[in-house]
Structure 1
């Protein structure tokens, strides 16, 4: 019997992973009493877990994952799947140590490095702008191969429930790069509402975030990632979804068509 522990099990990918693995999954989230920042409380969640889906919601605290990996393997976990990020294999990246911990844990492992989520527009940090009709980001005319969280979750679930993905690192993107103006235009067309994309200066974006309570370090990290897009970085396509699942990645247009914008924007 598989017993799969899903960190962030109520989040964008975690709840989708939980749906894919069904009764084999157990959700570890604040809603179930789990706190990644409290190691003393990990043991009851790790008890009996044969596989673990690892998610770090706070890149400024990513040092927690290596310790959690050690405890998970000691508790009997034999498969680890890490939700990582592009370029996390490079020293200095916040998730580099997490990747190294997974790769050297002595058990089966898979690392997922998804590009920006398509769902950021519908249930993530860009949703307020979409809802209010103006999405303001420091991304310029940058283009992104947005990846659907459903694809990420399906790859994760496949890796958690079988061994054919062991030792693999999957770079996950959508099938084509989309600009933010085009993305908001597609959403506007689907929802029947006017939605504009506005490019803002990086420093202005940092100031706006910090004014809403975002820590300065986090605001600068996020702004830097978005500002990289305006320089043309982050637009490269990868075939990770197809290699893992044997089918093409879901198109951004399919994500837009499958989202209940009329309900959400009413």
Structure 2
């Protein structure tokens, strides 16, 4: 049996839908019943409630599991949550954990400057020392983060993308591409001790991104460079909690210092997944970009 944790989040739900699309049985761990409705009715999906921080709640979820895709929310005690889950999985006899991790693609990006990547590295090291078989799947920034309603997305009323990173290029990857790789990885053997890094097929400036959104929607969007201070003020005005604002401040500041981006397409090639160009992603989500 395969288990996917964090099954109702952005990444987890994409993976679960891909399992269902391929008609492959999978167990989906969720914590909040209010978010679990979308799991019900998907073919081959077995929803199971549990809390990664409470081992006693995971008995049913971990029973008979041979491989886990471990995902949890980045802003909710990620290190404590995932390390506790690793311990629980080991105690339950799970032999192999695939960590859905992350890695910034900026050339020269300093991991110590951004808590998000530091925490992923800490968890990876804990998993590697656990005695379990491990694999790391490391996507870069998601294309979905440009959608309205996300803290780094476009403003659909102003038709603007407001970012404090100047002319820096990023290499966003589609979440669905990562989900396809994740399912292929979970369904096959020989991945123990391996690391799979992923970006999209293009290194895009923010000007490039809005040009592609404009092309896909038939509506003019523009990039507005702003200062880091102004961006953080906007986030506070939108009600983001201060720890999240500070986390994003670290990310924006380091991205601004690293104007070039790697392209990592070897994982797509290994699993025979065609990389999604940003303009195709924008076309698929044209209604969302235009919705006010």
Same structural fold, with TM-score higher than 0.5 when normalized by the shorter chain: yes
Q: Which deviations, in whole Å up to 9, do the C-alpha atoms of 1:62-104 show, x marking residues without a partner?
A: 2211110110122132221111121699677122221112223
Mean Cα deviation higher: 24-33 or 85-94: 85-94
Q: What residue in structure 2 maps to residue 167 of structure 1? A: 193
Unaligned runs of 5+ in 1: none
Report the equivalent of 1:154. Answer: 180
Q: Determine the structure 2 residue equivalent to 1:85.
A: 102
Which one of the candidate residues 200, 204, 225 is aligned to 1:199?
225
For residues 210 and 42 of structure 1, what CA distance do their matches in structure 2 show? 36
Cα separation, 2, equivalents of 1:211 and 1:72:
41
TM-superposed CA distance for 1:245, in Å, is: 1.2
Q: Write the distance in 1 (CA, Å) between the matches of 2:84 and 2:287.
A: 44
Give the alignment partner of residue 144 of structure 2, picking from 97, 119, 128. Answer: 119
Deviations 1:184-214 (Å, cap 9, x if unpaired)? 1211221122222211111222222233332
Task: Point out where structure 2 has 5 or more consecutive residues left out of the alignment.
Answer: 37-48
- TM-score normalised according to structure 1 size: 0.86
Task: State the distance in 2 between where 1:235 and 1:89 align.
Answer: 13
Of 69, 72, 75, the residue aligned with 1:53 is: 69
Answering whether residue 70 of structure 2 is matched by residue 72 of structure 1, we say no
Partner of 2:25: 24
Alpha-carbon spacing, 1:58–1:121, altered in 2? closer, same or farther (3 Å): same
The alignment of Structure 1 onto Structure 2 pairs a total of residues equal to 263
Once residues 89 and 141 of structure 1 are traced to their aligned partners in structure 2, the CA distance between those partners, rounded to angstroms, is 18
Match of 2:133 among 94, 108, 111: 108
- Map of 1:242-261 to 2, 5 A cutoff? 242-247=268-273, 249-257=275-283, 259-261=284-286
Per-residue CA deviations over 1:152-193 (Å, capped at 9, x if unaligned) read 111211221222222111121112201111111211221122
CA distance in 2, matches of 1:81, 1:89: 24
TM-score by length of 2: 0.79
